[in-house]
Amino acid sequence: MVNRKYNTKEIALGAAFLLLLLVVVTLYILYQAEAVQLGYRIAGLEDRVARMKEEIKKLETKKAGLLSLRRVEGIAREDLGLTDPKPGQVLYEGIDIPREKKGR
């Protein structure tokens, strides 16, 4: 059996190829790792969005409760001392309703 002698050029080429392979594999692993990381982040953000949506719904429901007419009327009458308008105090926009003249 005769051992073939590699010349320096061939060894350098082989080393370069191996290095390139190593770089590619490393980059691929890094890419994969980054993709997984991004996947986690996306999943986390999606989860956060879902939670925020739920929070919005919760706040909307709370707002609906706070704006309930019974509560608003209670505040208007008891805290602010407002009363119902008398018939003459209601103005109708865009409708020509003559007002009674004073002093007649």
Partner 1 sequence: MRGLFSNGMRPRAVALAMVLAVWFVAAFGRLVDLQILNHGRLKAEVLGQSQTDMEVLPKRGTIFDRNGKILARSLPAQSVFFSPLKSESAAKQMEQVMRLKDPLRLSEKELSRIRTRVQKKESFIWIKRKIDPEAAGRVMGLNIKGIFLQEENKRFYPLGTLAAHVLGGVGIDDNGLAGVELQYDPLLEGEKGRRLILRDARRRSYQFETLKEAVPGNDLYLTIDETIQYIAETELEKAIASSGADWGTVIIADPKTGEILAIANRPVYDPNDYPPAVPGEGVNRAIQHTFEPGSTFKIITAAAARELGRVGLGETYDCREGSISVGGNLVGDHKRLGILSFPGVFIESSNVGVIMIAQEIGERNLYQMIKTFRFGERTGIDLPGEEYGICRPLSSWKKSSLRIAIGYEISVTAVQVLRAMNVFATRGRLVRPSISLGAGVRGLSGPGTQEPLKILSEGTASELAEIFKRVVDEGTGLSAKLEGFDIAGKTGTAQKFDEELGRYSSAKHLASFVGFVPADDPAICMIVVLDEPKGLMQYGGQVAAPAFRDISARVLRYLRAAPKPKAETLVAAKMAKARRP
Question: Among 1, 2, 3, 98, which residue interacts with partner 1 (rule: CB under 8 A)?
Answer: 98
Q: Answer for the pair 38, 32: CB distance below 8 angstroms, yes or no.
A: no
Residue 78 within binding range of partner 1, rule CB under 8 A: no
Number of chain positions touching partner 1 (CB under 8 A): 23
Residue 103 interacting with partner 1 (CB under 8 A): no
Helix (H, G, I), strand (E, B) or coil at 11: helix
Q: Exposed (0-12), middle (13-18) or buried (19+): which is 64, by Cβ within 10 Å?
A: exposed
> Both tokens of residue 49?
């969005």
Residues that bind partner 1 (CB under 8 A): 54, 57-58, 60-62, 64-65, 68-70, 73, 87, 90, 92-93, 95-101
